Amino acid sequence: MGLQNSKQLFKHAIENNYAIGAFNFVNLETLSAILDAATELNSPVIVQCSTGAIKYAGIKEIAAMVQAKADNLQVILNLDHGKTFEDCKNAIDNGFTNVMIDASSLPFEENIALTKQVVEYAHSKNVTVEAELGVLAGVEDEVSASSDDAKYTNPQQAKEFVERTGVDSLAIAIGTSHGTHKFAGEAKLRFDILEQIEALLPGFPLVLHGASSIPQDMVKLAEQYGAKLKGANGIPEEMLQVATTKHNVVKVNVDSDLRIAFTAGIREILNTKPETVDLRDYLKQGKKYVTEVVKNKMISVFNSAHKA
């Protein structure tokens, strides 16, 4: 076990009707919380960093932390939303086992050209590649798009894109969005588009970004201790269950859920123990809540527990 690329893990997930959670981390505490859940549940897991997290923590430090903790687990270390060939090459050269090149905001032919360049380099290093077609609305870390810019993935273009780039997995836009406020009204995912893509790309690994559920118990806890998250909402877990257990969605990105859980734990301790100046007191509480959220995803949403 240890660090792996996505090829065999995604194949196993499709064959056994589950998905692998892709959880963003920015420091040792959030990484440890995610891997603690994976260890307890014997679940494969994807840990991932955006370019913003890499700027914050350092790419060599990130890779070393994951490598030190991944020995007895099935772990993919993924670059989330690389924007340039250089972003992806830097991650590959520093030990990442999967990279996402996000050229979805570019014209179709430019997206193909850049993705193909990344695929050729990555595959020469035994690294797998995710790309994106279609544009998600919302803001998270260094990724942003207005609702006017958002557009669903075109199924015919998805088929052509995969065939021409040789990419290993594809992030599609079917109604998810980045950030903590995903829907102004009723939540809706375009399962009809998902089914059309699957018909054209049978057995091909698909990915959902912007798929946090925004657990309301963590929202309420964070707000109880001063957070301002009014109206925060996410993708209903029931919808994600359908996507991951009845379709070929094998990777689901989760970031906002973990941010809220970690923030709730820190706020709770700083409010209930105002005398503490021990960072471990509040970091441990944040870590505890992140682990709880990740475990719930693995058991109740992604069906990945005991699949490693």
For 219-239, write each residue's pLDDT tens digit.
999 999 999 998 888 899 999
* Residue 275 burial by Cβ neighbours in a 10 Å radius (0-12, 13-18, 19+): exposed
Greater confidence (148 vs 102) lies with 102
Among 3.90.1200.10, 3.60.15.10, 3.90.950.20, 3.20.20.70, name the CATH number for the domain at 2-262+289-301.
3.20.20.70
Point out the catalytic residue in the list 80, 102, 141, 255. 80
Angle at 17 between CA 104 and CA 176, to 5 degrees: 30
* pLDDT of amino acid 114: 98
Q: d(Cα 146, Cα 60) in Å, to the nearest integer?
A: 33
Pick the closest to residue 228 from 236, 219, 217 (CA basis): 219
Assess whether pLDDT exceeds 90 at residue 212.
no
Q: d(Cα 240, Cα 208) in Å, to the nearest integer?
A: 9
Tokens of 116: 């193909």
Other CB atoms within 10 A of residue 257 CB? 25
Residue type at position 207: V
pTM for the whole structure = 0.93
Other CB atoms within 10 A of residue 34 CB? 29
| Complete DSSP assignment for 146-208 | -TTT-BPPPHHHHHHHHHHH--SEEEE-SS-EESSB--SSS----HHHHHHHHHHSTT--EEE
For 175-185, write each residue's pLDDT tens digit.
887 666 655 56
Three-state secondary structure call for residue 131: strand
Three-state secondary structure call for residue 45: strand
What band does 121 get if pLDDT is binned at 50, 70 and 90? very high
Give the distance, in angstroms, between the CA of residue 256 and the centroid of all CA atoms in the same chain. Answer: 10
Q: d(Cα 273, Cα 296) in Å, to the nearest integer?
A: 28
Per-residue b/e over 215-230, b at no fewer than 16 CB within 10 Å? beebbebbbebebebe
Given the structure tokens 């996507």, which residue do they identify?
243
80 is catalytic: yes
For 52-71, write each residue's pLDDT tens digit.
999 999 999 999 999 999 98
Q: Where are the domains of the chain?
A: 2-262+289-301
